[in-house]
Structure 1
Amino acid sequence: MLSFDVDGPTLWLDDRATGRWSDARGFSIGAYGPWRGTPRILDMLQDRGLPATFFVPGKTIEQWPALVKDVVASGHEIGHHGWMHETFFDHPLREQRAIIERSQEFLERTAGVRAVGFRSPSGDIAADTPALLADLGFSYSSSMRGDDRPYSWGVAGSAGDLIEIPAHWELDDYQQFVYNESPPEPRGLDRIAGTAATFDNWRREFDGYHRWGLCYVLMLHPQVIGKPGRVRALERLLDHIGRHDDVWFATGSEIAEWWRRA
């Protein structure tokens, strides 16, 4: 599963209540993803005929509607990713519902689709979030870390069958490549990991997943992975994966439906 979190500048907000930025540099760091990174990634996917799932906050949809339309027109899936990249664990149920419904309505007005997949911003959900997702008709979540295969959520009182497609930090470009000095991100101001070492790790992880027939989920961010050198390295990783004739590239919704039937 190739997944891209098109967070845009929502990661660098100064005021989440208004959606305003006072730091022009912070805005530009995030905006690189929708402006440059995502179009570059779309071209790469088109060249290889590969599907992907793009998790997009509602605020990014509002600011870059033409890009979201391009993603859908290219045959890719749009997943839900909050409105302003809010963490869900610190929001009561009614606010979680309002965030989800607002973004769904905006996505439908913009691109004519509704998300069936959900990835909680920062991977933080509340205890009542899975039941809410099932109630709102979501097919799957990709927020947890507890397995390397999909699994079904046991949601009491729900007729739905919410599937979880786990993703992991070691396959997340944000953990490897993000650095910003103000505010400190990551907090310890660690240096950016080397591209060759990171992609060597990702290739080795794929080889392990392939050995046991598992669900390999790359969790990438266009503002991070969309830089020219990293896209070139990603191309080489995808070529390595594609040389295996028993690998299935699929969107999150396709994986969830397959898992239900399996």
Structure 2
Amino acid sequence: MGVTRDDEPWRWPDEVWRAHLDRVRAGRSLKPAAWPGGARVAVALSFDSDHETIPLRDGQTSPGQLAQGEYGARAGVPRILRLLERHGVPATFFMPAVSALAHPAEVRAYADAGHEVAAHGWIHERTTTLPANAERDLAARALDTLERLCGVRPVGIRTPSWDFSPDTLDIVRDLGLRYDSSLMADDDPYEILADGTPTGVVEIPVEWIRDDAPYFVMDRFGSARPYAMPRDVLKIWRDEFDGARAEGGLFQLTLHPHVIGHRSRMPIIDELLTHIRSHADVWYATHAQVAEYVRNS
């Protein structure tokens, strides 16, 4: 429902603004009384393996633009997989289908190492700009592609735009996905409501605070410039983990191989995991494992 000059939000009757609020809403909290094994906190690491898909989505095909994304696959991912193996921590890799098609050995390596592979669109499309039939087709093809390449059908999705179109939730449900990780209504998992009705879809919330891109992305032709020192960001994420542990909640983190995978940035993930592992009451899980546990708690 668009807004015209004759339909400014301040003119909306109650039923209009309430309908916007209720279309996709946070329902009951799914934060459990305790995590598996009596753990005090759950840790769910995720990596959005976008690689070359962001410039491709925007029609930017120059070698320089594509190389910036290729770095994630060529240099970032191997460092990430080695670090996760050294710490013995599972992760969820949200991967656009085009990334997986361009790097099939990589997506198989995720699955072979025991990590989760989850959906992240076809070519990192802007979901909110698509007609319903195109969004549905791309999501379905992405799931089929990831299943074919890694042997496991994804059960979760993170929309490339970190947002829902008017059709996204229906598509997620129709495709049988068990969880989403794109919305920001809580720190801890919750059930998504559709027009006030429980859907059974688990939301594992994201937040820009717990994402590397806002701190470190560089766009030569745009306004984005790295503005934070890596160890300043480490302090934010460490405080986020400590707060989640104090509240008995979930610490979820979103990273990108082409962003975090650099030599000067990977050490902060190593230090963060060292800090987390200094606590004995931590449950390390994929997003799918978190969704399944909270659904059944």
TM-score, normalised to structure 2's length? 0.81
Q: Which aligned segments of 4 or more residues in structure 1 are displaced greater than 4 angstroms?
A: 156-160
Structure 1 residues without counterparts, runs of 5 or longer = none
Q: Which structure would you say has the larger Rg?
A: 2
Q: Distance in 1 between the 2:249 and 2:57 partners?
A: 39
Amino acid in the other structure paired with 1:59: V
**1:103-114 correspondence runs (5 A):** 103-114=142-153
Deviations 1:117-165 (A, max 9, x none): 1001130211321121111110100000110010111247999621000
Distance 1:116 1:204, change over 3 A: same
Q: Distance in 2 between the 1:92 and 1:244 partners?
A: 47
Aligned length: 254
The Cα shift of 1:15 comes to 5.0
Deviations 1:69-102 (A, max 9, x none): 0111000000100011012111122111101111
**1:6-155 correspondence runs (5 A):** 6-13=49-56, 15-16=58-59, 21-155=60-194
Structure number with greater CO (CA < 8 Å, separation at least 6) is 2
Q: Indicate if the aligned counterparts of 1:38 and 1:226 stay in contact, CA closer than 8 A.
A: yes
- From 30, 43, 47, the equivalent of 1:4 is 47
Structure 2 residues without counterparts, runs of 5 or longer = 1-43
Q: Indicate if the aligned counterparts of 2:136 and 2:171 stay in contact, CA closer than 8 A.
A: yes
Higher strand proportion (structure 1 or 2): 2
Q: Distance in 1 between the 2:215 and 2:46 partners?
A: 16
Amino acid in the other structure paired with 1:133: V
Q: Indicate if the aligned counterparts of 1:142 and 1:165 stay in contact, CA closer than 8 A.
A: yes
Distance 1:251 1:14, change over 3 A: closer
Q: Indicate if the aligned counterparts of 2:91 and 2:285 stay in contact, CA closer than 8 A.
A: yes
Percent of residue pairs identical: 39
Secondary structure (helix, strand or coil) at the match of 2:251 reads coil
Amino acid in the other structure paired with 2:89: L
Amino acid in the other structure paired with 1:10: T
The Cα shift of 1:218 comes to 0.5
Q: Distance in 2 between the 1:59 and 1:157 partners?
A: 35
Q: Indicate if the aligned counterparts of 1:58 and 1:106 stay in contact, CA closer than 8 A.
A: yes
Amino acid in the other structure paired with 2:101: E
Q: Distance in 2 between the 1:190 and 1:109 partners?
A: 37
